Structure 1
Amino acid sequence: MASKVVQQTEELVHPILEELSLELVDIVYEKEGPNWFLRVYIDKDGGVDIDECGQVSEKLSEKLDEFDPISEAYFLEVSSPGVERPLKKESDFEKNVGKHVYVKTYEPFDGKKEFTGDLVDFKDNYATIQFKDKTRQKEVEIPFAKIAKARLAVSFD
């Protein structure tokens, strides 16, 4: 059911974001305790502000009321993805080459399933990550299809 809500919300929010020159980063529909939350993460170059989040929330709320894809009560939240923005699409990886990332894979690469390091390249559907293994710098190439989860990461170096 959650994936259907996400899909329908995506269809409703796209024209709104296009009109405001904003980008959809992610949609999450999840239960926390007794409450359901529909979270829509938006962004643009330079980041989004609270007014833009408010505009999208207002317009999307009207559309959700009109088309009513969600049967139970829920809270709608529209926000920026923040500094640890998820990387979902190939274009997200392409735009973030040179940035510090966290990547979790479906299967081990170089004996590991989790990598934190610099995204040094993304081409031909492979992400190249340079990471520190104890005292040595290493590189790993991970096929996009084998990435379970990825996000920008804060570096404390």
Structure 2
Amino acid sequence: MSTTQIDRLRELLEPLAGKRGMDLEDVRVTPAGRRRVLQVVVDTDQGVGLDACAELSREVSAVLDESDVMGGAPYVLEVTSPGAERPLTEPRHYRRSVGRLLRLRLREGGELTGRLLAFDDAGLDLEVPGEKGRKATARRVGLDDVASARIELEFSRRPAGDQSPKEA
């Protein structure tokens, strides 16, 4: 599959997502037996629900039927939101992750896990958990110092806006 096809798909699909207030995060075409899977990944600041994905999927399907961008071979269309532990690659990803626990791989080596308290164009303000009963510490990390970042899945996540530790 050529980059040109992905570019054409992005050009076709970005306006559809945009008019619904969504960001087109990714477009992938992968082989699946005799078919291909076209995966369209969208997101918003508030997240994307199933109904919004279904509505966009119907619209994308209609536009693709009118276009030749997918060629004549059969394909399956999937419109989805990013996964819970997806990589953070754009400033909007960090903005949407304030309050979440992140795992960073640093350019100078090493990893850092911390709760994202604030984000601006220059970097991240994190609360790094203390070890062995020590208090959490604040840490500023420049965006240029981050090699990669992911959201860490939490099963007992703090409610939004609650920055205090849970009491027993």
Q: TM-score, normalised by structure 1?
A: 0.69
Residues 26-65 of structure 1 correspond to what in structure 2 (within 5 A)?
A: 26-31=26-31, 36-65=36-65
Q: 1:3 to 1:103 in 2, by over 3 A?
A: farther
Residues 5-154 of structure 1 correspond to what in structure 2 (within 5 A)?
A: 5-31=5-31, 36-71=36-71, 72-104=73-105, 107=107, 109=108, 111-112=109-110, 114-132=111-129, 135=132, 139=139, 141-144=141-144, 146-148=146-148, 150-154=149-153
Q: Tell me the matched-pair count.
A: 152
Question: Residues 104 and 146 of structure 2 are in contact (CA less than 8 Å); yes or no, is this contact kept in structure 1?
Answer: no
CA distance in 1, matches of 2:49, 2:29: 22
CA distance in 2, matches of 1:63, 1:79: 17
1:91 maps to a residue whose letter is R
CA distance in 2, matches of 1:13, 1:147: 29
Q: 1:29 to 1:87 in 2, by over 3 A?
A: farther
SS in 2 for 1:13: helix
Q: Which moved more, 1:139-148 or 1:76-85?
A: 139-148
Question: Residues 45 and 96 of structure 2 are in contact (CA less than 8 Å); yes or no, is this contact kept in structure 1?
Answer: no
SS in 1 for 2:8: helix
2:92 maps to a residue whose letter is S
1:67 maps to a residue whose letter is S
CA distance in 2, matches of 1:103, 1:30: 29
CA distance in 2, matches of 1:147, 1:33: 35
CA distance in 2, matches of 1:145, 1:33: 41
**Residue 62 of structure 1: how far off its partner (Å):** 2.3
CA distance in 1, matches of 2:55, 2:80: 11
Match of 2:154 in 1: 155
Larger radius of gyration: 2
**Residue 78 of structure 1: how far off its partner (Å):** 0.3
Question: Residues 38 and 76 of structure 1 are in contact (CA less than 8 Å); yes or no, is this contact kept in structure 2?
Answer: yes
- Structure 1 gaps, min length 5: none
CA distance in 1, matches of 2:68, 2:114: 42
Greater strand content = 1
SS in 2 for 1:97: coil
Of structures 1 and 2, the one scoring higher in RCO (CA 8 A, sep 6+) is 1
CA distance in 1, matches of 2:23, 2:77: 18
